[in-house]
Chain A
Amino acid sequence: MSAQLQVDTQSPTGREHSAVSAFVRIENVTKKFGDFAAVDTVSLDIYQGEIFCLLGGSGSGKTTLLRMLAGFETPTAGKIYIDGQDMSTIPPYERRVNMMFQSYALFPHMTVEKNVAFGLEQEKLSRQQIRARVGEILEIVKMGSFLGRKPHQLSGGQRQRVALARALVKRPKLLLLDEPLAALDRKLREHTQFELINIQKRLGVTFIVVTHDQEEAMTLSSRMGVMNHGKIAQVGTPAAIYESPATKFVADFIGSVNMFEGRVLEEGAGRIQSDELGCVVAVDRKLNCARGATVWTAVRPEKINMTRTLEEQHGLRENVVRGRVTEIAYMGDVSIYLVQIDSGKTVRVTLPNIMRDAEHRIARDETVYLSWHGSSPVVLTE
């Protein structure tokens, strides 16, 4: 585990925010359903103006955590503070928090206008005020011309916008989004991601987004928390989590990764002997584990260099293995190569398709040399 990341996971107060107090503070929160702990002693700080993504597979507890913030579930143990206020006894309808539901949960018997106005009517605003604010927010989500439609007369993307407008019209300080883009097709999803970010910047609302889609989390979030089995595995910026995963789980969950078991040869010079890889892995930094300790080196597929001859590898001895290409998947922008190295293990390599013609590309069954820079591998102990 690298030093910077330890700060992030152990104490929720990250470096850049240490001066600001947390807007949402989750303190040792546990939620049990029977004997099963859906959320297990989670502590997390979220700051004003952030887009914070909770990323995890199904059953990781991310949605339960979100529902506790909205007030639909009460923590079995621990406390949640929003804007300094203890939320333990506050029912959902008295929280200045709004949620966008995964199913959108639009009221089917009401028009778009009525749906969006519903929240404002609960605040006992005047009719003119309600109309003005509904009109304003529907303009922002570009649904101004659909006031009279019922939800069943809208497309999936339009429903998503109405749901967003309905949640935002109350001007919440905190907006919870449960898989906001899951029901949209791929093109629309990409487009909407950027729109969400724009709206968030414009209105200055703090977003907490739950998603199982790592791409979505990476694009949207300013910081993200990876959840696994009810616990937070790692918190950090998307880049920090991708480039410096703290655990094997995180490395494997975010993006694809080649993972090799090995033993530490020299902790000072950063040398690891990996039998699984059949070579010595040299890392250009000090390792903080004892000599002989079992560690895993993780190398991202795009950080591996693949050449036909050893000379092209600048005569490196370490961080080089030989193998044979067994499978090629052409993805358009990149190609994914599966290379069986001499030790028998299969390594995944992605290369950008810089040339249009296939002539110079490495073909299946060719013998290749794989190498990587000393800064590329991440050394993991757990």
Chain B
Amino acid sequence: MAQLDNRAGRRLVAGIPLFWLLLFFFIPFVIVLKISFSEVRLAMPPYAPLFQWVQGVPTPKLHFGNYAFLFTDPLYVSSYLYSLKVAAVSTICCLLIGYPMAYAIAHAGPTWRNVLLMMIVLPFWTSFLLRVYAWIGLLKNNGVINNVLIYLGIIHEPLPLLQSDFAVYIGIVYSYLPFMILPLYANLEKHDNTLLEAAADLGANPMTAFMRITLPQSVPGIIAGSLLVFIPAVGEYVVPSLLGRTDQLMIGRVLSDEFFENRDWPVASSVAILILLALVIPIMLFQHFQRRELEVQK
């Protein structure tokens, strides 16, 4: 009886997030998927119904034109590729900056560790939008950085920092760095220090010990952190809109423009579905295998 209760309880605990995902992820996904196969029209809602009554039988009328359109117009392909590039470079930058920080926090004394972790989380206390806006003030032509450089005589003309790839990288790396540091810290903090002692004892200098012991064992943390940065960075809307180039859009901006400017919901939906297919499914598979690998190791 107790066991039965236990099992029911476990189902309930697993069921709540499952229900949540069903309601707020899967159902919206199905709706978006449905819209992506419809034809656009000037009406309310702005797309044709997917099922039509043909002789009393509901018959789906699938329209693949939206997807075909995405591949014919170079705007979409280049936006996709640009987004992937920005996300990849930002993820690598976050990793290169975040790994030493996470390592330092994991190796700090207990008092310092909490202070440092607090400092990582502290920016979340102000709005994300505000923090990105603040970067405009720093990067613009008569902003803080240019003014200081001119005052010091290093440059004479303001550098065009804003509305560049550089500004987008800064914005994304700055915003997403904590998402890299926290999972890396959680991983590094669990490392057994005696393994490093054993490596040193066997003749490995600190660099070799890091490369052969610490780094391979922190791979799950690196993957988790990279996914947490890469996935939202691909669809990032705010940072490129405020800091980025005007001649090259990121796919998140394209998506929003299709929805709100062009009111072409079917095309916007197919853009969204393609992001999902191109990113989330390989990542989910990858994570699944990674988890299985980890379970074997334990």
Set of chain A residues within 8 Å of B200, measured between Cβ atoms? 71-72, 91-93
- A residues with CB within 8 A of B: 70-72, 91-94, 97-99, 101, 103, 105-109, 118-119, 122-123, 150, 152, 166-167, 170
Complex interface: chain B residues within 8 A of A94 (CB): 203
Contact A103 B216 (CB under 8 A): no
Binary flags per residue of B206-220, CB closer than 8 Å to A gives 1, else 0? 101100110011000
Query: Which has the most chain A C-beta neighbours within 10 Å: B200, B212, B298?
Result: B200
Q: Mark B225-249, 1 if CB is under 8 A from A, else 0.
A: 0000000000000000000000000
Contacts of B208 in A (CB 8 A): 122
A107 contacts across to B, CB distance below 8 A = 195, 198-199, 213
Q: Which residues of the partner chain B approach A101 to less than 8 Å between Cβ atoms?
A: 194, 197-198
Chain A residues with CB under 8 Å of B194's CB are: 101, 103, 105
Residues A118 and B204 in contact in the complex (CB < 8 Å), given A101-B198, A105-B195, A150-B297: yes
Q: Are A152 and B195 interface neighbours, CB within 8 A?
A: no
Known: A93-B203, A119-B203, A123-B203. A105 touches B198 (CB 8 A): yes
User: Complex: how many Å from CA A170 to CA B206?
Assistant: 19
Partner of B212, one of A93, A105, A106, A118: A118
Told that A93-B200, A122-B204 touch, could you supply 20 new A-B pairs with CB distance under 8 A?
Answer: A72-B200, A91-B205, A93-B204, A93-B209, A94-B203, A97-B201, A98-B201, A101-B194, A103-B194, A107-B195, A107-B198, A108-B195, A118-B199, A122-B208, A123-B203, A152-B298, A167-B201, A167-B202, A170-B202, A170-B203
Q: Which of A105, A123, A150 contacts B197 (CB 8 A)?
A: A105
Alpha-carbon distance between A123 and B204 when the two chains are bound, in angstroms: 9
Shortest distance from the beta carbon of B188 to any chain A beta carbon, whole Å: 15
Which of A103, A106, A109 meets B217, CB within 8 Å? Answer: A109
B192 within 8 A of A: yes
How far in angstroms is the closest Cβ of chain B from A33? 14
Q: Which A-B residue pairs are the 5 nearest by beta carbons? A: A119-B202, A122-B203, A105-B198, A92-B200, A105-B194
Q: Which residue of B lies closest to A116 (CB)?
A: B202
Looking at the assembled complex, report how far the CB atom of B7 sits from the nearest CB atom of chain A, in whole angstroms. 29
* Cβ-defined contact, B213 with A152, below 8 A: no
Is B205 a contact partner of A93 (Cβ separation < 8 A)? Answer: yes
Smallest CB–CB gap between A15 and chain B, Å? Answer: 34
* Cα separation A118 to B198 with both chains bound (whole Å): 10
- Quote the shortest CB–CB distance from B220 to chain A (angstroms): 11
Q: Is the CB of A109 within 8 A of B204?
A: no
Residues of A within 8 Å of B202, CB to CB, are 93, 98, 118-119, 122, 166-167, 170
Looking across the interface, which residue of chain B has its beta carbon closest to that of A153? Answer: B296
Instruction: Using A119-B203, A122-B203 as known contacts, say yes or no to A92 and B197 having CB atoms under 8 A apart.
Output: yes
CB-CB under 8 A from B209, the residues of chain A are 93
Pair A72/B204 contact, Cβ less than 8 Å: no
- Rounded to whole angstroms, the CA-CA distance of A108 and B212 in the bound complex is 12
Contact status B192-A105, CB under 8 Å: yes
- Alpha-carbon separation in the docked complex, A314 to B86 (Å): 99
CA distance A84 to B130 in the complex (A): 66
**Nearest-CB distance from A325 to chain B (Å)?**
49
Q: Are A93 and B216 in contact (CB under 8 A)?
A: no
A58 and B43 CA atoms in complex are apart in Å by: 81
Q: Within the assembled complex, what's the spacing in Å between the Cα atoms of A70 and B205?
A: 14
Contact yes or no, B201 A70, CB < 8 A: yes
List 6 interface pairs A-B (beta carbons < 8 Å), by A numbering: A93-B209, A99-B198, A105-B197, A118-B204, A166-B202, A167-B202
B146-160 CB mask vs A (1 if < 8 Å, else 0) is: 000000000000000
Determine the distance from Cα of A205 to Cα of B284 in the docked complex, in whole angstroms: 52
Residues of A within 8 A of B201 (CB): 70, 92-93, 97-99, 167
Complex CA gap A192/B192 in Å reads: 26
Write the nearest CB–CB distance from B71 to chain A, whole angstroms.
43
Q: Of B192, B201, B206, B298, which is in contact with the most chain A CB atoms at under 10 Å from its CB?
A: B201
Q: Does the CB pair A152–B297 fall under 8 Å?
A: yes
Name the CB-closest residue of A to B219: A109
Cα distance A71–B298 when bound, in Å? 30
Docked pose: A200 CA to B206 CA in angstroms: 30
| A107 CA / B195 CA spacing, docked (Å) | 7
- Are A108 and B203 in touch, CB under 8 angstroms? no
Do A109 and B199 touch across chains, with their CB atoms under 8 A apart? no
Q: A-facing mask of B269-298, CB < 8 A → 1, else 0? A: 000000000000000000000000000011
Centre residue among A91, A97, A99, A105 by max chain B CB count within 10 A? A105
> Which residues does chain B contribute within 8 Å of A152, judged by CB atoms?
297-298
Provide the residues of chain B in CB contact with A103, threshold 8 Å. 192, 194
Per the bound structure, the CA–CA distance linking A107 and B205 in Å amounts to: 16
| A72 and B203 in contact, given A108-B297, A109-B216, A122-B208 (Cβ under 8 angstroms) | no
Contact with A along B81-120 (1 / 0, CB 8 A): 0000000000000000000000000000000000000000
Q: In the complex, how many angstroms separate the beta carbon of A161 from the nearest chain B beta carbon?
A: 16
In the assembly, what is the distance between CA of A123 and CA of B205, in Å?
Answer: 11
Query: How many angstroms from the CA of A106 to the CA of B199 in the assembled complex?
Result: 9
- Chain A residues positioned under 8 Å from B213 (CB to CB): 107
Residues of B within 8 A of A150 (CB): 297
